[in-house]
């Protein structure tokens, strides 16, 4: 008897719970389904449900995400929401004060936050993400809309990598998820000292310490500065530290003795990241400097940008016999550099124009007497061609006094952090 009444109580209680839960779910999902049928096929996320008293109305706040498609305008997207024409016009006017709506790219995300009350939806907030770092927040305040732009919060991450070079520096670093921009900057730092086609060998080592910025969800947003970079060749090592002085009017990369990485001319005037010593070796013999050749060749794909090895003025641009499309730059102190076999010149490159070190002046090609796409690079000093691989350029800036002291302190901090032992 006792057992019977106990179990029947359990059954009744269980039954009541099931009835209640079913009723509750039916109420809720009934409404959601109704909404889904009026909403488009676009991505809809239900954020939270809230009850509003006293009439036991159920109100939902829900989020929709739109993505700009090709040829679509901001106003067309707003037209897909439950905003009326008047509201759309107001929002467009407001937004135009903050950003150029014509410049919203394909793929830009626009988020709406709406409230569904008594089956009537109305848009509460609109968020535009014009790029990875900003958001534009449009919100309803009484019957008007207001606008605010926010910078997204980014989180800094310091990254240290140590890799052996295989094939090319680019491949070796991209394999360990180094951002492309960092790789390009890394190579640029050493382009004054290293001939990337002849001096880099399989198994040479790279060390790099840099900053990157991620969003809250750990998505990569952008790269920051390189703080330390090192290349170990088979018989020599180069290491560079980023240093900024107290007054912040000097920033640059310096070797362990405080000597600037930047020199008057580059040894490799194309980005060496993708160059490998084996590239195109069989088809186009890579010639070093000798009496007959009088320049160095960098075998690289057609279209690879060529940089001005140093600051100067264009002395010659045009066809030059066997050299094909050709550029020569006059630098200070009796130096000149020449670039041959180009596929084309960069825009704005003409005689007497001033060019800055690192500026793109043309593109690798195979014009003139050439067996395949490559850059033939020459350095002239006082009217004679010299070997760029062994040229001794006047050294760049050297840190002194107070600046040297604070540089050496920074260097030591980085060395300890990365457990770097003194070189050579
Ligand atoms: Zn050559």
**DSSP letters along 186-221, please?**
HHHHHTTT--TTTT--TT-EEEEEEEEEE-TT--EE
Alpha-carbon gap, residue 185 to 222, rounded angstroms:
14
Rounded distance from Cα 306 to ligand 1 centre (Å): 15
Alpha-carbon gap, residue 135 to 150, rounded angstroms:
5
* Tokens read off for 349: 């490159």
Alpha-carbon gap, residue 295 to 320, rounded angstroms:
15
Query: CA nearest 340: which of 323, 315, 364, 328?
Result: 323
Rounded distance from Cα 281 to ligand 1 centre (Å): 13
Rounded distance from Cα 297 to ligand 1 centre (Å): 5
Alpha-carbon gap, residue 289 to 195, rounded angstroms:
12
Domain of 65 in residue numbering reads as 36-151
Rounded distance from Cα 362 to ligand 1 centre (Å): 17
Residue where one domain finishes, among candidates 123, 151, 179: 151
Are residues 212 and 199 located together in one domain of the fold? Answer: yes
Write down the pLDDT at residue 11. Answer: 56
Is residue 63 within 8 Å of residue 113, measured between CB atoms?
yes
Rounded distance from Cα 285 to ligand 1 centre (Å): 9
Number of domains in the chain: 3
Task: Round the average pLDDT of the chain to a whole number and report it.
Answer: 84
Rounded distance from Cα 329 to ligand 1 centre (Å): 17
Is residue 344 within 8 Å of residue 365, measured between CB atoms?
yes
Partnered with residue 49 across adjacent β-strands are: 60
SS3 content of the chain, % helix, strand, coil (to 5): 25, 35, 40
Rounded distance from Cα 376 to ligand 1 centre (Å): 4
Rounded distance from Cα 296 to ligand 1 centre (Å): 5
Rounded distance from Cα 262 to ligand 1 centre (Å): 25
> Does residue 24 belong to any structural domain of this protein?
no
> Does residue 268 belong to any structural domain of this protein?
no
pTM, to two decimals: 0.71
Rounded distance from Cα 237 to ligand 1 centre (Å): 27
CATH number at residue 76: 3.10.450.350
pLDDT category, 294, cuts 50, 70, 90? confident
> Does residue 209 belong to any structural domain of this protein?
yes
Are residues 147 and 201 located together in one domain of the fold? Answer: no
Are residues 328 and 420 located together in one domain of the fold? Answer: no
Average pLDDT of the residues in 325-331: 97
Rounded distance from Cα 182 to ligand 1 centre (Å): 30
pLDDT category, 270, cuts 50, 70, 90? very high
Rounded distance from Cα 377 to ligand 1 centre (Å): 7
> Does residue 239 belong to any structural domain of this protein?
yes
> Does residue 10 belong to any structural domain of this protein?
no
Q: What is the pairing mode between strands 305-307 and 374-381?
A: unpaired
Are residues 309 and 233 located together in one domain of the fold? Answer: no
Write down the pLDDT at residue 303. Answer: 94
Rounded distance from Cα 369 to ligand 1 centre (Å): 10
Rounded distance from Cα 287 to ligand 1 centre (Å): 6
Is residue 68 within 8 Å of residue 111, measured between CB atoms?
no
pLDDT digits (tens, 9 = 90+) for 11-52: 555 555 554 544 444 444 433 333 333 333 344 444 444 444
Question: Could you tell me the sign of the dihedral formed by the alpha carbons of 204, 363, 337, 294, in that order?
Answer: positive
> Does residue 7 belong to any structural domain of this protein?
no
pLDDT digits (tens, 9 = 90+) for 348-388: 999 999 999 999 999 999 999 888 899 999 999 999 999 98
What residue spans of 266-365 are helical by DSSP H?
none
> Does residue 249 belong to any structural domain of this protein?
yes
Rounded distance from Cα 199 to ligand 1 centre (Å): 17
Write down the pLDDT at residue 10. Answer: 57
| Other CB atoms within 10 A of residue 122 CB | 14
Q: How many CA atoms lie within 13 A of 348 on its CB side?
A: 8
Give the single-character DSSP code of 15. Answer: H
Rounded distance from Cα 349 to ligand 1 centre (Å): 22
Residue where one domain finishes, among candidates 124, 151, 178: 151
CATH number at residue 363: 2.70.70.10
Rounded distance from Cα 268 to ligand 1 centre (Å): 14
> Does residue 402 belong to any structural domain of this protein?
yes
């Amino acid at each position: 008897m006792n057992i019977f009444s106990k179990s029947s109580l359990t059954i009744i209680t269980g039954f009541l719970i099931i009835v209640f839960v079913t009723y509750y779910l039916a109420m809720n999902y009934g409404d959601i389904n109704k909404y889904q049928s009026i909403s488009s096929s676009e991505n809809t996320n239900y954020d939270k449900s809230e009850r509003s008293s006293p009439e036991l109305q159920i109100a939902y706040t829900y989020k929709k995400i739109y993505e700009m498609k090709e040829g679509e305008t901001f106003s067309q997207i707003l037209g897909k929401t439950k905003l009326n024409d008047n509201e759309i016009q107001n929002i467009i006017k407001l937004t135009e004060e903050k950003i150029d709506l014509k410049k919203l790219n394909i793929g830009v995300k626009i988020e709406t936050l709406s409230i569904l009350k008594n089956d009537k939806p109305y848009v509460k907030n609109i968020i535009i993400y014009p790029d990875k770092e900003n958001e534009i927040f449009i919100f309803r305040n009484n019957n008007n809309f207001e606008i605010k732009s926010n910078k997204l919060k980014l989180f800094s991450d310091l990254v240290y990598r140590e890799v052996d070079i295989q094939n090319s520096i680019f491949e070796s670093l991209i394999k360990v998820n180094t951002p492309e921009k960092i790789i390009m900057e890394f190579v640029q730092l050493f382009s004054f000292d290293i001939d990337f086609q002849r001096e880099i060998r399989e198994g040479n080592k790279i060390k790099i310490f840099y900053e990157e910025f991620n969003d809250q969800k750990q998505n990569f947003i952008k790269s920051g500065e390189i703080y330390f970079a090192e290349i170990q060749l088979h018989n020599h090592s180069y290491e560079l530290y980023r240093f900024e002085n107290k007054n912040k009017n000097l920033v640059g990369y310096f070797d362990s003795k405080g000597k600037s990485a930047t020199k008057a001319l580059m040894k490799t005037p194309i980005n060496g990241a993708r160059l490998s010593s084996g590239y195109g070796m069989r088809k186009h013999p890579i010639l070093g400097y000798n009496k007959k050749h009088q320049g160095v060749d960098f075998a690289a794909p057609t279209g690879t940008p060529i940089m001005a090895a140093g600051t100067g003025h264009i002395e010659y641009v045009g066809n030059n016999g066997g050299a094909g499309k050709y550029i020569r730059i006059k630098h200070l102190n009796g130096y000149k550099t020449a670039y041959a076999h180009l596929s084309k010149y960069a825009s704005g490159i003409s005689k007497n124009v001033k060019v800055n070190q690192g500026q793109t002046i043309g593109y690798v090609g195979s014009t003139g007497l050439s067996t395949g796409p490559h850059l033939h690079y020459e350095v002239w000093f006082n009217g004679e061609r010299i070997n760029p691989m062994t040229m001794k350029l006047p050294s760049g800036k050297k840190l002194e006094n107070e600046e040297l002291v604070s540089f050496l302190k920074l260097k030591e901090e980085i060395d300890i952090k990365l457990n770097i032992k003194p070189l050579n």
